[in-house]
Chains A and B, each alone.
Chain A
């Protein structure tokens, strides 16, 4: 562990210039949290970065996320058994964002980026799910369980903003971690923690 810190400090301190990369590909995995609906999930993003200046880049990417939430109930009110509720979220998203870079070419660099997002989302929110009590003999139900949900599905627009810390691990490779927020208008927004790799050339 001590060696690792020393190595990291050396890398940062020397500010070694590595390759003069113009372009990069990033593959990032993410943990997703949707504060409005308290769903949690995971996703991935593939993005392309083009460096215009040492401090400025353009990046574009696309990703897929899955998330869910279960609300435990399991209680009986007025002879009605209230069953658990589930939220499900799946989304594809595309974004384009200019980015500011600090420490380009060094062992550790930081990206700040923000830009528009277009997303296709499919969300199913259970509003209620309950088991009907047995009725008189002259009644019959189509189903014993009444299920109500709200489906929110379609293409939505929004924005993404985030930061990323890159740690160079080789001539062309670096690891990165970061955080971003994706605000989607009239649909499900999320905050994300990311971990990924980058290949530059």
Chain B
């Protein structure tokens, strides 16, 4: 009887010792931003490069966007892309955890540099009311590029040809809404940005899906576009909800392209407006300095 018990115990011990092999892999986590991160701008954090070493494994993702190692700013998400506002003024870390279906987690913190090379100063022009300009500086191996944008909406003195807001604070914030023909001939140096130049600014601001937000956000290095609305048939419309900014590109003889942003949307889009519509204006210019 005792031998039987001992043999049973022996069998049980062998069974415990030889139980199923345990799955011990965790996923590979990697991520980046889809566009260069800039302070207070929204970016898409993309972890789609992460993968499991097990075929058919389903991954989940969660993010420590401010990199404080305390709380996860998102829950477990089934999709690898999340939109977040960059919280670092110059540099910081963003954390990602990737979990596989066995519950194994890989954690990755990655640093991001958000330094911007810009300068804000007065733009001296022929216009009666001056505006500020922001100079973005880019250095390349053989040249230096200064990309200059008006930092304020262009203001013009009162006239029946265009629309000015009644208070000085509104004028400072919204500028003047003017027809395309006026906007296109304001200054001999600064010009209306073309559609392509606006597109470059949209790309700088994270692409069409996020530029609507990033062009408006109150970050010093951003254009901080306002939403004055538009005047059509002498009626101010969409005031406070949308902004229309002329491009230098005509759609046809009677209409031209404009950039549209909305207070409630992350997106920026191009629309065609009748040239007689009164819309906002930002001007730009750029300089190149080549090294010999």
Question: Could you list which residues of chain A lie within 8 angstroms of chain B, going by C-beta atoms?
Answer: 34-38, 77-80, 82, 85, 87, 100, 112-114, 125-128, 130, 132-133, 135-142, 146, 148, 150, 158-163, 180-185, 189-191
Contact = CB atoms under 8 A, between A and B. Distances in A.
Interface of B: 2-3, 6-7, 9-22, 24-30, 32-33, 36-37, 49, 51, 53, 91, 93, 104-114
Given A80-B30, A100-B6, A181-B17, A37 B24 contact: yes
B28 A161 contact: no
A114 B6 CA distance: 6
B30 A133 contact: yes
Given A77-B51, A141-B111, 19 more contacts: A36-B18, A77-B28, A78-B49, A80-B30, A85-B24, A112-B3, A114-B6, A138-B112, A138-B114, A150-B104, A158-B13, A158-B16, A159-B13, A161-B14, A162-B10, A183-B15, A189-B16, A189-B17, A189-B18
A148 B26 contact: yes
Nearest to B102: A127
B28 A127 contact: no
A128 B26 contact: yes
A190 B19 CA distance: 10
Contacts of B105: 148
Contact of B17 (A85, A128, A133, A183): A183
Nearest to A102: B3
Nearest to B17: A189
Given A37-B21, A80-B30, A161-B14, A114 B106 contact: no
A82 B107 contact: no
Contact of B32 (A34, A37, A136, A180): A136
Nearest to B23: A127
A116 to B, nearest CB: 10
Given A127-B26, A128-B106, A135 B16 contact: no
A82 B53 contact: yes
| Chain B interface, >50% SS class | mixed
Given A80-B28, A112-B3, A148 B13 contact: no
Question: Which residue of A36, A133, A138 has the most chain B CB atoms within 10 A of its CB atom?
Answer: A138
Contacts of A133: 30
| Chain A interface, >50% SS class | strand
20 contacts: A77-B28, A78-B28, A79-B49, A80-B28, A112-B6, A112-B10, A113-B6, A114-B9, A128-B106, A136-B32, A138-B112, A140-B110, A140-B111, A146-B108, A148-B26, A148-B104, A161-B14, A181-B13, A182-B13, A183-B17
A129 B272 CA distance: 54
A42 to B, nearest CB: 17
A44 to B, nearest CB: 19
A72 B129 CA distance: 71
A96 B7 CA distance: 16
B16 A139 contact: no
B14 A136 contact: no
A149 B93 CA distance: 22
Nearest to B108: A146
B268 to A, nearest CB: 22
A100 B3 contact: yes
Contact of A146 (B2, B10, B91, B106): B106
A186 to B, nearest CB: 10
B22 A37 contact: yes
A196 to B, nearest CB: 19
Contacts of B28: 77-78, 80, 82, 128, 130, 146
Given A78-B51, A159-B13, A141 B22 contact: no
Top 6 A-B pairs, shortest CB-CB distance = A183-B16, A161-B10, A140-B111, A189-B17, A127-B26, A114-B9
A135 B10 contact: no
